[in-house]
Amino acid sequence: MSPGPQFSYSVVVPYGKIGGNTARCLLSILEQSYPPEEVVIVCNGPVKASDAEQVLRAALSSSSIKCRLLEAPDSCKNANAARNLGAKCVSTPWVAFLDSDDWWDVDWAQTCARALNNADKDVRFVYGSINVHRAGGLKETLTADDWRVFATPENYLLAYRPAQTSTYMVASSLLHAVLWREDLGRHQDYDFFVRCMNSGALSCCVKEPQVNVEWTYPRRHKYHYDCWRVVKDWAPRVDPEFYRRHLANLTKSALLSKDLEAIGPLVRALCSAWIRQIGARQARRAKP
């Protein structure tokens, strides 16, 4: 089944990190077998539109697709603010998001269109599997699934099943109702995915891994408190073991990153999660 005319989409790329292979990202958009109507690259943080134009000149000059470089105002401090700004600037029914250091296989959009044609007509959110490229040329595929199998979107994510930003194809109508949280430096995709799903929006999952992300460096950062802010109220909706494991991983990462602001709250939350997990095990054993 070929995609209908209602599947017209634009792509928003937040570009806020100097370095990386942003040209690869852009070329993967422009070479899609089902091309977008428009590409909006939002330069934020240290990246200026003049810098982006110089880096992307070759790709931009060879494309017949409309491409816009937006220089975000100083108030646009992070990728979420750039995503919100970019989404406001397009008029297509669908918007895809691609991080500047990620890239798509050539048939990714075509696969999304096929998934939408086979799904409920009211679906407004597409997410999917990813190929993770690691140091030394190693590649690992993380396979997405229907989050409803896991009962809640929170449980799906803390089971470490993927719903990564660069797999998102979102209806513009949903983006008007659910904005990216601009106060977050990490776990933005966790937060956005959960709020979209809990809004009642129907979703579909693309299992073919056609989105590529590169994780070739130690993932050290100072945003663990943001991660904690996102997940701190999830405990009632998540398997106790999944919740405890995620807090343990965040705590370990905060310690290695010397993220002092986050260590105290995370250690306290981890102790509470251990107690909750032990209580859940005892309750299961007590059942006849």
Q: Are 131 and 44 in contact (CB under 8 A)?
A: no
As a whole number, mean pLDDT of residues 128-133 equals 97
Q: Which of the four pLDDT bands, split at 50, 70 and 90, describes residue 156? A: very high
Q: Which of the four pLDDT bands, split at 50, 70 and 90, describes residue 73? A: confident
pLDDT at position 215 is 86
pLDDT at position 1 is 36
**Listed range (6-10, 136-140, 158-162, 193-197) with the worst mean pLDDT:** 6-10
Q: The whole model's pTM is what?
A: 0.90
Higher pLDDT, 282 or 111: 111
Which CB contacts under 8 angstroms, 24+ apart, belong to 83-86? 83/12, 83/14, 83/42, 83/180, 84/179, 84/180, 84/182, 85/42, 86/12, 86/13, 86/14, 86/40, 86/42
pLDDT at position 28 is 96
Instruction: Give CA–CA dist 268/234, Å, rounded.
Output: 15
Beta bridge partners of 96: 11, 169
**pLDDT tens-digit profile of 222-275?**
889 999 999 999 999 999 999 999 999 999 999 999 999 989 998 998 888 888
May I ask the CATH architecture of the domain 9-214? Alpha-Beta Complex (3.90)
Q: Are 163 and 155 in contact (CB under 8 A)?
A: no
